[in-house]
Structure 1
Amino acid sequence: MAESSTQSKTKRHKLPPKNDAELDRISDLPDSLLCLILSFLPTKEAIATSILSNRWKLLWTLVPKLDLDTETIDPSVTFEHIVSKVLSLQQIASLRNFRLRFLFRSSSFVNHSYLHTWLLIAASRNVEELNLEIYFDWEALKWKPQKLPRSFLSCKSLVVLKLRGDIHIDFATDSSLSFQFPNLKILHLLYLFNLRECFSMLLSSCPVLEELSYEGDLDMICGFIYKIFVPTLKRLNITLRESEFYKLEINAPALEYFNFEGDLGDIKIHEKLDNLVEANVDIRTLESEFWRYYRHEKYCHKDRIFQLLAELNNVKFLSFLFHGAECVRFGHIDPLSYRNLVQLEFKVNDCNWHVLQDLLQNAPNLEILDVTKSYDCLEHDLGWKDPPDDLDDLSSHLKSLCYRGFEGLESEVGFLKYILKHARVLKKVTIQVSGGESKESVLEKLSLFPRRSTMCLFTVG
């Protein structure tokens, strides 16, 4: 009886044999769906599917996307040969996305005409998005920034253009150069070679541009003026490193998102930013030897810092970080109301507690406050000082407070005491401890502070 039961179980677990056609259901999907699946793969992996069966052999040639990178290509075959071969085998009239990233090494054979050919082929196929990255290593024997073909600079099908690395738009030797990008909405210019001669002209050729990202270093000559006058611009990302003596003029009344990181030059915003939703400002002021020896109010950038803050007073979400910007101890925020501000992220150090206080006094609707302790500016401890008047508006709106890097210093304790004493709708306080104090002792201290809110939850980590 037991044997019969065992045989019965064995029979139940047996599966009927299936032929290959039944197992390969994915190949029965339409070409459009299979091409969509392949479009999520790098081109190298998409091509590899051609060995699966005759059904897959040429499917990759119908994918309207190319993603080619020297880091993923077999070095025994030249990258130029592979890109040219792939482009010649493609069977599409329209190329939606073309990403090309390659590094010229010292041993590489560099034929600069290849790039022109590839870009012109992409333009002839009405490419919509181009992501081009070119790099030479430090040992390259024939370092030469790659020029974009003149005719490609009038590619009317482009919606997204991202350029990065050793790429040169040679306006200096060809003053008749012109740009036409009537459909371009997203433009990224990252560490390009000597872009300043044609920067403003390039932007003026993009009548519907909505997003601009610019990153650069050592490309800012003293006194040079960058102008970003784009009425349709909604998102602006600027990163400038090792570049202090420049002027940046912005006229973008439709701007909704503004991100700045780097050394603070002279930034002027011409139109009021009534539509501004989010601003992230991370100032890394270059401290030259001259500045270190002659620290004085007139040499500092405090006017620039507070002027920029004033320009952002309509923002809803603000992140403002300082790195070594000691000169802020000389200035104060203009008495402007940040009436729309609901979330503030602030990096506090010994020199800028008063800046945080100014912001809190002028942000009556602030709900979320995130403060991070910094170790910049250790020579002058201005400390937290309770405002002369209670922050009544703040106390009726602030719901969440996070403080990172708590060490139990007098300024930190004074700040936390003040907030807990006045914030009557505060629901959550998160403290991240740094230094010798244990989490338990910090939590015990906090529990002894007077609290206005009866529903506040403490978290110490």
Structure 2
Amino acid sequence: MEPKWKREMLNEREEKVDRLSMLPDSILLYIMTSLTTKEAVHTCILGKRWKHLWKYLPTLIASNEHFERAEFFKRFICKVLQHRDDHSAFHNIAIDHNGYIHSQISEKIVSYAVSHSVKQFTFDACLRSKGARNALVFGPIFSIRSLKYLDVSFRKSNWLIKLPHALDLPELEKCRLKYVAFSSNDDDDDDDDFVKPFSLCKKLSTLVIDNCNSAKALCVSGDKLTNLTMRFGKYILDPFKAQVSAPNLKSFTFVGRLSSRNNHQLFEHNLDFLEEACIEALCFRSHLKICERTLNSWMKRFCNVRSLTICAKTLKDLASTLGLPNFEPARFANLRSLIVKHDCGIPVLDQELEYILQNSPLAETMIIQATPSYQEMFELL
């Protein structure tokens, strides 16, 4: 048996072994993808093994919140794109810039994403509405056929970025669009009142349309579409008409202004598979009755949901239809959870809850004090 002092010395040597550096590059790079790119670059100080390892990262994840000045952030982006290994795999770009970003920087980011056929692209920044060059810079993003995940937000751009009439993204599964404009094909027949940007996205399952604009009615269709969110902020004074053709929809959220153009014909199919819905709608006084009828029509489509979230204002508008001639309230036989969001100014009355609960004996009701989402959107914009 070895003496105690020798065993302790061997244990100390084992503790000093850098086991992390003994892992293969592929494992280390996988671990590094959980870091921001700035954090990953900082690993170069750990030793010779780490000096150039970050250059093979398949991701670029950066936010200006991690930099003292915007100029440092922009310079960092350029340096990373310049020095990373151009022949290594690259599949994810995520840029978050709480401010205006120069079109030259945007162009480098987009060009790198296109040339490397990324699978995920996230971009959130302010664009100058008078900079026509921005509209040209971001156009190629919407034709990266390898994309599976797309999340773009062009704040303060006055809907400068216009989507092509049809997104040529056959692999796209999840998509979030904020502050973009839907456009139609110049060769389209004037009699065609709909734009169909997602007609080629056959794998699309999740779609968020957030404060977007459209000169024509929007058609959203897809047999694989299961999650749909539509938001309209204060700058969308008269939200565009939309038609949803998604027979397998499981989750639907609507937040914001509801006008006469968002009529009861929103859904082309019965929503037999819809499991959850969230409605926080703000109706115009000028056509309140039309909106009430529209909401009532939606609720009938939602009759199979198990979870329903609704704001107090929308519930009050719905309850006002009770007792009207030829109006039957929706029947939520499968409802298990009802969440009502209200602020201090709009109380929730029992007769209003009756609209939802009269045919839902198993539903649990939760009334929470919270600012409606549409109000939060208006304050942030």
- TM-score of the superposed pair, with normalisation by structure 1: 0.65
User: Is 2:226 the partner of 1:234?
Assistant: yes
User: Is 2:181 the partner of 1:186?
Assistant: no
| Amino acid aligned to 1:360 | L
Change (3 A) 1:205 1:48: same
User: Is 2:119 the partner of 1:121?
Assistant: no
| Amino acid aligned to 2:142 | L
**Corresponding residue for residue 123 of structure 2:** 132
Asked if structure 2 preserves the Cα contact closer than 8 Å seen for 1:103 and 1:135, the reply is yes
| Amino acid aligned to 1:277 | E
The residue matched to 1:282 in structure 2 has which SS?
A: strand
Asked if structure 2 preserves the Cα contact closer than 8 Å seen for 1:153 and 1:178, the reply is no
**Corresponding residue for residue 208 of structure 2:** 213
Asked if structure 1 preserves the Cα contact closer than 8 Å seen for 2:312 and 2:348, the reply is no
Give 1:346-365 correspondences, 5 Å limit: 346-347=340-341, 353-364=350-361
**Corresponding residue for residue 162 of structure 1:** 151
Distance in 1 separating the partners of 2:126 and 2:270: 39
Stretch moving more, 177-186 or 77-86: 77-86
Change (3 A) 1:145 1:279: farther
Asked if structure 2 preserves the Cα contact closer than 8 Å seen for 1:94 and 1:126, the reply is no
**Corresponding residue for residue 245 of structure 1:** 238
Distance in 1 separating the partners of 2:330 and 2:104: 56
**Corresponding residue for residue 375 of structure 2:** none
Q: CA RMSD in A?
A: 3.6
What CA deviation, in whole Å up to 9, does each residue of 1:360-404 have, x standing for no partner?
A: 22224x24222347999xxxxxxxxxxxxxxxxxxxxxxxxxxxx
Asked if structure 2 preserves the Cα contact closer than 8 Å seen for 1:264 and 1:304, the reply is no
| Amino acid aligned to 1:228 | V
Return the match for 2:32 from 12, 15, 38: 38
Using CA pairs under 8 Å that are at least 6 residues apart, name the structure with larger relative contact order, 1 or 2.
Answer: 2
The residue matched to 1:280 in structure 2 has which SS?
A: strand
| Amino acid aligned to 1:135 | C
Distance in 1 separating the partners of 2:295 and 2:70: 53
For residue 152 of structure 1, report the CA deviation from its aligned partner. 3.3
Asked if structure 1 preserves the Cα contact closer than 8 Å seen for 2:123 and 2:151, the reply is yes
Change (3 A) 1:121 1:225: same
Change (3 A) 1:270 1:98: same
Change (3 A) 1:152 1:165: closer
| Amino acid aligned to 2:217 | I
Change (3 A) 1:318 1:12: farther
Asked if structure 2 preserves the Cα contact closer than 8 Å seen for 1:253 and 1:274, the reply is yes
Change (3 A) 1:303 1:261: same
Structure 2 gaps, min length 5: 186-193, 373-381
Change (3 A) 1:212 1:298: closer
User: Is 2:309 the partner of 1:319?
Assistant: yes
Distance in 1 separating the partners of 2:94 and 2:162: 22
Distance in 2 separating the partners of 1:73 and 1:29: 31
Stretch moving more, 178-187 or 15-24: 15-24
User: Is 2:267 the partner of 1:269?
Assistant: yes
| Amino acid aligned to 1:232 | K
> How much identity, in percent, do the aligned residues show?
23
Change (3 A) 1:21 1:77: farther
Distance in 1 separating the partners of 2:367 and 2:269: 30
Change (3 A) 1:280 1:212: same
- TM-score of the superposed pair, with normalisation by structure 2: 0.77
Distance in 2 separating the partners of 1:113 and 1:320: 44
User: Is 2:366 the partner of 1:370?
Assistant: yes
Return the match for 2:78 from 71, 78, 84: 84
Distance in 1 separating the partners of 2:68 and 2:329: 62
What CA deviation, in whole Å up to 9, does each residue of 1:24-61 have, x standing for no partner?
A: 21111111111111111110010000011001111111
Distance in 2 separating the partners of 1:134 and 1:238: 21
Asked if structure 1 preserves the Cα contact closer than 8 Å seen for 2:275 and 2:305, the reply is yes
Report which of the two structures shows the higher radius of gyration computed on alpha carbons. 1
